[in-house]
Amino acid sequence: MPLAVMLHGPQQKEPFPSQKLYGRGYLLFFSHVSNLVEHVLAGYNGTIFAYGQTGSGKTFTITGGAERYSDRGIIPRTLSYIFEELQKDSSKIYTTHISYLEIYNECGYDLLDPRHEASSLEDLPKVTILEDPDQNIHLKNLSRHQATTEEEALNLLFLGDTNRMIAETPMNQASTRSHCIFTIHLSSKEPGSATVRHAKLHLVDLAGSERVAKTGVGGQLLTEAKYINLSLHYLEQVIIALSEKHRSHIPYRNSMMTSVLRDSLGGNCMTTMIATLSLEKRNIDESISTCRFAQRVALIKNEAVLNEEIDPRLMIARLQKEVQELRDELALVTGELRTEALTEAELLL
């Protein structure tokens, strides 16, 4: 299926009636995001990522504002929606885990370090990428935390946001200087069944692109801007490669972000991109660039499949139960009670 793309700009002066009651995020969530979340609940992988220049509203869109309840972003609304749906569905057993990864200057950090709340970014565990022979990506040192309620999940979000790297730039006084990937891992199975469905939903807040000459930054902010622009450049190269037919090599390994999001870009995932725009005249070049990027993303087609597997532990337990039942039936027929364990020959059958 094609990747979905939607444009998102600053809030208009006169809100729609539903916006007055529920906030701007209400329309965005229920018009585009809720359908994708429904598929994640059914066992498909999903990704939502926000892309745009710095100060155009990516973090506000993904995470939301802290002042008003109506300013909640996509992540808290998604958590609320998921746990509401899980409470309604009594036919399955669900397990939910949360992870929160920050990529800052091409280094990964676990924002949910279980040992303590970090006083600086360097205190957090470094996350590294491992790739197995089947080219599956594994993130070493990235912790997963079980959340049984919406409140527990939101507390994990708040902890991660507290540890996140924030700095001031001339273009945005509260600019996020890193890429952050909030992931919801869902497992579900029917009672008594050995078939388990696994799904993950990436909610991605990319750092904003910016022109160094235009912002006038220096020192550490200049270094950050170079890393941000380079990683976004590699993301663009992956998008271009995916949009070209008969392209054999896709440069996922060029950056940590594209490696982590390999499935989300041209893989087993249902992906939605939110393009955020600044409507100020002086940012027209950046807005056009964002629209062109979104146009290329819309050409990509992903092949999402249902993620089902047999849990070997449940299958073994079921077979052991069947063996015991057959023993009991045999004992009733022959009148002999067999208590010894199976022989090696019987186990091989």
The amino acid at 250 = I
Q: Residue 197 pairs with which residues in a beta bridge? A: 188, 308
149 is in an annotated binding site: no
**Are 178 and 121 within 8 A, CB to CB?**
no
Contact predicate 176/164, CB 8 Å: yes
Is 56 annotated to bind ligand?
yes
Count other C-beta atoms under 10 Å from residue 198's C-beta: 15
Single-letter amino acid code for the residue at 45: N
Q: Is 59 annotated as a binding residue?
A: yes
C-alpha distances out from residue 193 to 178, 196, 232, 316, Å: 42, 8, 43, 12
Adjacent-strand bridge partners of 126 = 109
58 annotated ligand binder: yes
Q: Is 65 annotated as a binding residue?
A: no
Query: Shortest CA distance to 206 belongs to which of 237, 185, 227, 184?
Result: 227
Dihedral angle over CA of 33, 39, 44, 49, nearest 10:
0
Ligand-binding site membership of 54 (annotated): yes
Phi then psi dihedrals of residue 105, to 5 deg: 50, 45
* Binding-site positions for ATP: 52-59
* Binding-site positions: 52-59
